[in-house]
Amino acid sequence: MIALLLAGAACQQPAAEASDATGGAAPEAGADAIPASTPAPAQDAQRPLTESDKLLLEMAEAACRQNDFTGFVAAYARSPILRARHTAASVQHGQPGASKPVTRDRYLAGNLFPITMIDTYWVTSDSRRAFDAADGDAQLLVIAAPDINVASDGRARVDWVSGRMDYDPQINEGEGSFVQTGPGGYLLFYPTKDCWELVEDVRSPG
């Protein structure tokens, strides 16, 4: 059921990297040096690692070594530990033209990162929490369709929208068309000396 509801979203708006991001891509780097990733808060460092934690940490480390932002953000979106380690000390958060700095601790404590994954599919974080609270009711999941661009200076931007899949009963299961039904936003990551960190989370009105 989950696969039927979600399959095809990535095909409709694939995550694509480019050496020079265009059309809503990350801005050019300024003269200021970009800081290294900050350490995780103490409470994160003290929490015992699960097998899932270890797997996601390994995925992220490999993606960072290979300069693979798409692989990194897929792990980052699913791991609170990675979000703690790779979120800037201050994140610009809010609507376009009205975003304000939010401390890392407040951003993480509020579970504000807007998208996550279930299996290989992107969904909104709010709908994933509703799905978990309802013992896996797939009807509650809302698809998130990301568009990933990486600029030549290493800055990365994820533009995303929320929606659903429309299926034609005459075609094969798993095929369908993505229909935007809600707002989205964009996420901006800056490169650090060894990976990336989130610096901006802007939401479209709606």
How many structural domains is the chain composed of?
Answer: 1
Per the domain annotation, does 115 fall within a domain? yes
Q: DSSP readout, 15-75?
A: ----SS--SS-PPPP-SSPPPPPPPPPHHHHHSPPPHHHHHHHHHHHHHHHTT-HHHHHHH
Return the closest-CA partner of residue 41 out of 92, 109, 100. Answer: 109
Residue 136 gets which letter from DSSP?
A: S
pLDDT at 171: 64
On the question of pLDDT at 64 being above 90, the answer is yes
Domain range spanning residue 193? Answer: 2-22+50-203
pLDDT tens column, 143-170: 999 999 999 999 999 999 999 888 776 6
Residue 151 lies in a domain: yes
Model confidence at 105: pLDDT above 80: yes
Look up the CATH number of the domain holding residue 178: 3.10.450
Is the pTM higher than 0.85? The answer reads no
Residues 117-138: tens digit of each pLDDT: 999 999 999 999 999 999 999 9
Domain-located, residue 43:
no
Residue 153: half-sphere exposure toward Cβ, Cα within 13 Å: 15
Q: Which of residues 94 and 29 earns the better pLDDT score?
A: 94
